[in-house]
Amino acid sequence: MQSVSPTVLMENAAFLCKGRLYEKVIKRRMETSASAEEAGLLQRVDSFMLGFIKSERKSRSRLKVNYIIAGATSNRLDRSIDLLHEADEIDEDLMQYISGLIKRQTLRLGGPAAESEDDLPLGTGKNAIEILKMIYKRLEAQMKTQGKAELILLAKLMLEQDPSRREDILKDKLYKVEDMENFAFFVESGIEHLTMNASSQDQQVSVGKVERMKDILLSAKSRLQFYQNQNEVFSTRKEEDLPL
């Protein structure tokens, strides 16, 4: 391993840190090793590589969190999370990193704690913890709805308290009238499902969800009606807003 250039590792870091791909590959390689000598060599390689990969994963997670915080402080939290999602950069390592930050911040409330290399530009105390928890919740919702556009949008709208902001999100995400129609139908079906299948135990929770979903449905239908009145049949975006 001493003969391996650090440049080679850094150039391939994105692949080495992707999910648990490295662990799966090295495990399979060890299982198919031709001899005990080869297995021992692979174990030494693995010890070296895991050290590099864990350090790189932590560094990348820290950069992602800093990026999200920068988005939050400039009222672009949703956009920063969307970009990470589109780049497939919301992963288990990022969630574990944020969870660790929350635990450290919580411990600090009990007394003085030494500064850490993981300290972020959030300050300390309950405010920092609440921001981290909010970010964690947003990312968790994004992971749970991976690959499901309607669920991703609905989860984002459910977390948004401001009705005018919800309409802005709808306008930004649904470019076509038919997409708005499909989303309205999706939300309406969800409301019907929750209403019909809510048990007495979770009825109170379901009622809250249904009411929020009704507000979202109202916003979607309002935007849809507006564009239909404007005779913009094909797109909710103005011509100058469309990408070239």
pLDDT (tens digit per residue) in 43-82: 999 999 999 999 999 999 999 999 999 888 888 887 888 8
Specify the pLDDT at position 28. Answer: 93
The model's pTM is 0.59
Tens digit of each residue's pLDDT (9 = 90 or more) over 135-184: 998 888 777 766 577 877 888 888 888 888 888 888 888 877 888 888 88
Residue 128 belongs to some domain of the structure: no
Residue 16 lies in a domain: no
Q: Alpha-carbon distance 27 to 47, whole Å?
A: 12
Q: CA 210, CA 190: separation in Å to the nearest integer?
A: 8
Identify whether 104 is part of a domain. Answer: no
Classify residue 178: in a domain, yes or no: yes
Spatial separation of the C-alpha atoms in residues 69 and 57, rounded to whole Å: 18
Query: Does residue 156 fall inside a structural domain?
Result: yes
Helices and strands in the chain, H and E counts: 11, 0
Confidence of residue 234 (pLDDT cuts 50, 70, 90): very low
Q: Is the pLDDT of residue 236 over 50?
A: no
Q: How many domains does the chain have?
A: 1
Instruction: Say how many C-beta atoms besides its own lie within 10 A of residue 105's C-beta.
Output: 24
| Residue 88 DSSP code | T
Q: Does the residue 134 lie in any domain? A: no
Q: Does residue 25 lie in a domain region? A: no
Q: Smallest Cα–Cα separation from 131: which of 120, 140, 122?
A: 122
Calpha distance 64→60 (Å, rounded): 6
CB of 17 within 8 A of CB of 60?
A: yes
Question: Is residue 114 in some structural domain?
Answer: no
What domain range is 162 assigned to? 146-244
Rounded mean pLDDT of 208-225?
87
